[in-house]
Structure 1
Amino acid sequence: MSTNEPGDDGSQQKYDLEEEEEMPLAERDLADDAPWKRIQQNTFTRWCNEHLKVAKKHISSLETDLSDGLRLIALIEVLSQKRISKFNKRPTFRSMKLENVSIAIKFLEDQNIKIVSIGK
């Protein structure tokens, strides 16, 4: 008797196939190159941390640590060797965090740095 549940005799393979069929094609494509994306993410994180040493800051996760704009601003200041004077130094609200990211992106645009596929 096969119930297509994991752990039943011979049904694990059927369960895996059904699970794969349920996964959208785009999601499967992302899963296929996930190791490459992880390598890129780790490489960029190490590169950021190497530069952020000057500012005595550190990034553990690109997805979360840049979200308030503070480490992003610190990285931009280190790389450009210029100060960004007006930003929220202790952002507590989402709007303050978004404003910091906007300030960072605006600074890059003002420096004539072309930003592709990155938005506020």
Structure 2
Amino acid sequence: MPVTEKDLAQDAPWKKIQQNTFTRWCNEHLKCVNKRIGNLRTDLSDGLRLIALLEVLSQKRMYRKYHPRPTFSQMQLENVSVALEFLERENIKLVSIGE
């Protein structure tokens, strides 16, 4: 059964609550490294806050080097890849990840 615009509209408040809750949770953990997330989609896109969050939660440093000042989209993508490789190496599975 295809998803209609009405279905998406009814789903929107729930998604917004989830997004706000996760953002607050991330910010609570990122406080100790003086970082903050305002918008999940844009603020995690360069990988830096994602890497910082993973380091805080795991209390470990990244195995690979990453770009501390990613100026190109390729550098940003590499940073996100470093974070995802870290999760894989730590045997952390990502489930139910969506938009």
Q: Say whether residues 1:56 and 2:23 are aligned partners.
A: no
The equivalences for 1:19-58 within 5 A come to 25-58=3-36
Query: What TM-score, normalized to structure 2?
Result: 0.89
Q: Say whether residues 1:98 and 2:77 are aligned partners.
A: yes
What is the SS of the residue equivalent to 1:72?
helix
How many residues of Structure 1 are paired with residues of Structure 2 in the alignment? 96
Which of structures 1 and 2 has the larger relative contact order (alpha carbons within 8 angstroms, sep 6+)? 2
Runs of 4 or more consecutive aligned structure 1 residues displaced over 2 Å after TM superposition: 24-28, 116-119
Structure 2 CA distance for aligned equivalents of residues 73 and 81 of structure 1: 11
Structure 2 CA distance for aligned equivalents of residues 109 and 29 of structure 1: 34
Superposition deviation, residue 28 in structure 1: 2.8
Residue 70 of structure 1: aligned partner: 48
Query: What TM-score, normalized to structure 1?
Result: 0.74
Q: Say whether residues 1:112 and 2:91 are aligned partners.
A: yes
Structure of greater Rg: 1
Unpaired segments of 5 or more residues in structure 2? none
Matching residue's letter, 1:98: L
Unpaired segments of 5 or more residues in structure 1? 1-23
Percent identity of the aligned residues? Answer: 72
State the Cα RMSD in Å.
1.8
| Alpha-carbon spacing, 1:88–1:27, altered in 2? closer, same or farther (3 Å) | farther
